[in-house]
Amino acid sequence: MDFLTGKDYPHLCQECQNTIDSVMPLIEEGPDTDDNEAPIMLVYDHGMFCGGHECVNKPKKCLYCNGNCPNDEDHACDGYLGDIDNLYKDEKE
């Protein structure tokens, strides 16, 4: 079975994605091999997310395009880079 890995959950922070990936060996040899979401369920069940039972460091979405601009300025949209509506005036100072 092809299990879902950390990259399949882009709404989670990198630390939580890495935690999901780190439990893969346990899942591959464990009893729950018929569910492709078994890795994230193990992480949740054992409170291994950055906030225990939830991800509290979720990546910020761009207020202009809903993309990954605040986390990747090299590939950010023009709205985020120019901030003509001053949506980020307090954060960029």
Q: Quick one: pLDDT at residue 45?
A: 93
* pLDDT of residue 21 exceeding 70: yes
Task: Work out the number of other CB atoms within 10 angstroms of the CB of residue 22.
Answer: 13
- Do residues 68 and 86 both lie within one domain? yes
Tally of domains within the chain: 2
Q: Which tens digit of pLDDT belongs to each residue from 32-86?
A: 678 899 999 999 999 999 988 888 887 788 999 988 888 788 989 999 999 988 8
* pLDDT of residue 31 exceeding 90: no
- Do residues 27 and 46 both lie within one domain? yes
- Do residues 2 and 35 both lie within one domain? yes
* 79 CB-contact burial (10 Å; exposed 0-12 / middle 13-18 / buried 19+): middle
- Torsion, Cα 30 28 18 6, to 10 degrees, reads -110
User: Which amino acid, residue 42?
Assistant: L
- Do residues 13 and 46 both lie within one domain? yes
* 92 CB-contact burial (10 Å; exposed 0-12 / middle 13-18 / buried 19+): exposed
